[in-house]
A and B are shown apart, each in its own frame.
Chain A
Amino acid sequence: MPKVTYVAIDGSRCTIDAAVGDSVMATAVRNGVPGIVGECGGNMSCATCHVYVDAEFAGPVGPPNDLEDAMLDLGVSDRRETSRLSCQIALTDELDGLIVETPEEQS
C-alpha cells in the first residue's frame, strides 16, 4: 500500500495508506483530508484538487496532459511548476511516500 502525505498551508501533515490505482484526490476526499475538494470526482471539470507535487517526486509523477494543462492554466489560482490536479495522479507502489502540498485555496 503506497503511503501519501498531504501537507497543508499551515505545515500540518496527514499521511494516508492508499490503494494502488486510487488517485491522490480520491484518497484525500474519502478520508476527509482538508484542502482537497475534488468536487467533480476526477473528471477534470472543477479544478478543486490542485496540489503541488514535492520536487523529489516530480519526475516519477510526470507532467500534466493537454486537458489538465488547460485546467491548471485557467482553473486554479497560483499555478506553479509542480502544480498538478491530484485526480490525475494514480497511485502506484513506485509513488510510495509521495508528498504533495495543498494550496491556500481551491479555485
Chain B
Amino acid sequence: MNGGVLVVGASQAGVQLGVSLRDKGYVGPVTLIGAETRPPYRRPPLSKAFLAGAVDDTALDLRTPEFYAARQIDIWPGERVVKLHLSTANPRGSGVALTDRGCTHVFDRLALAVGARPRRLDVPGADLDGVAYLRTADDAAHLRDRLAAAHDVVVIGGGFIGLEVASVARSQGKTVTVVEVVDRLLARAVAPVVSEFYREAHTRRGTDVRLGTGVAAITGTGRVTGVLLDDGTRLAAELVLVGVGAMPRTELAEQLGLECAGGIVVDGRARTSERSVVAAGDCTVMPNPLTGAGRVRLESMPGAISQARTAAAALIDAPPSPPEVPWFWSDQYDLKLQIAGVADGYDDVEVRGDPGAERFSVRYYRNGRLLAVNAVNSAREYLVVRKELSDQRRLGGLGDEELLGA
C-alpha cells in the first residue's frame, strides 16, 4: 500500500478532499490530477467580482503553493485522467489511472471530483466566434475581454450564471437581453415569487428579459452579429453568453461501471455504488442532506466542500461529521441573495418583507415543516432560518445513521 489516495479533479471539491484527508490524520500519499493548467482556484467570483474586474487572478487561488507542499498534497495540473482501472482483488478499491500525457498512477483508493461541463447550445451558429460559456477561469478572462469590446450582449439562459453575467454587463452600460426558454427566471432554484422579483429587478435596471422564448439560431459570418429568436425576433449581439446548465462529467465513473443518474450517484457518505470509491462536488447526485431522502444535485461551492469532507472521512473510515445545512448565494447588482436549505418538494411559501423595496425573504415549507429560505438583502432572516434548519436536523429525530443512509 503506497499509492495512497488519488483524487481525480483539482478544483474546490478535490482540494478539500486532499486537505481533509490531512486534517483527519491520513499520512499516505495524496495526489490530485486536474485537467486545468492553473493552480486550483475559486469559481464563484468568476461570474461576479472577477468578471467585473474587481478582483484579479491571484485572488482566485484557493491556497498557496507552500500550503500544498507543507501538507504533501501533490498536484498535477494540466493533465487529464482518461482511463481508470479498479482492482477487484485485495486491496479493494486500489487501481491504476492513465492520463492523456501517457503517465500512469497507481493508487490505493480513488476519489472522483471531476466536476461538470457547461451544457452546449445546439442551434445553428452556436460555434461562431463571440459565443461564450462560463465555467473556468480562462472562460471568465475571455468573457471579460470580450465584454469590454461589446455593445450589445445577449444572455441565453435565465439561471444564476446568466443573470450574474447580465448584471455585470448591464452595470458596464451594455445593452443586455436575457432570453429564457421557460416562463420564469431561476425556475429550477426558486419559487415563482422570487422569479418574478428578479424579472422586475433586472427590467428596472434596463435589461430586456424575454421569457418563454427559445433561440432558433445565432447569426453572423465567422463572428456573431445577432440572435434569432423562435418568435422571429432578431436581436443584435456582438457577444452571446450561453448559461443553460451544467452536465456532470460521468465518463470515468461510467467506465468503472459506477451507477450514474444525472451525475455520479453517491450515498450520504459520498460513496459511489462501488463503496470503496468516493465522489464529491458538481459531478455527483446525493441524498438530500437534510432528509436523507431522494436525490439532489447541489452544484454549489459550500456543497462541494461539505461533501468532500464527508468523502475524505469515508476513505479512511473516520467517523463522518454531521451533514451541514446546504447554502448558496448569488450577487446580482446590489442584490445579495442568500439561500439556506433545500426547497425541493415544497408545498407552501411565506413572503416576509417587501419585494418592491428589494429587501425580503421567502420561506419554503412542506407539510408545515420549514425546508429552506431565499433571502434578498436580508442576512438576518437567512441566518435565522439556517440556524433553525440546523437545530431541526439535530433535534428532528433523524439520526445520523438514517440521514447518512448507512
Contact = CB atoms under 8 A, between A and B. Distances in A.
Interface stretch (A7-15, A22-30, A49-57, A92-100): A22-30
A39 interface: yes
A19 B58 CA distance: 11
Interface residues of B toward A: which range? 20 to 34
A31 B59 contact: no
B66 interface: yes
Judged by DSSP, the binding face of A is loop
B292 interface: no
B383 A31 contact: no
Contact of B45 (A41, A47, A75): A41
Contact of A30 (B61, B302, B305, B384): B61
B177 interface: no
Contacts of A47: 383
Contacts of B379: 44, 67, 70-71
Nearest to A44: B379
B380 interface: yes
Contacts of A44: 379
A97 B122 CA distance: 56
A30 B383 contact: no
Interface residues of A, number: 21
B159 interface: no
Nearest to A29: B63
Contacts of B367: none
B70 A30 contact: no
A41 B384 contact: no
Given A26-B59, A40-B302, A45-B338, A71 B71 contact: no
Given A39-B305, A40-B301, 15 more contacts: A29-B63, A30-B63, A30-B67, A31-B63, A32-B63, A32-B67, A32-B70, A39-B302, A45-B338, A46-B302, A47-B383, A70-B383, A71-B379, A73-B380, A74-B387
Interface of A: 19, 22, 26, 29-32, 39-41, 43-47, 67, 70-71, 73-75
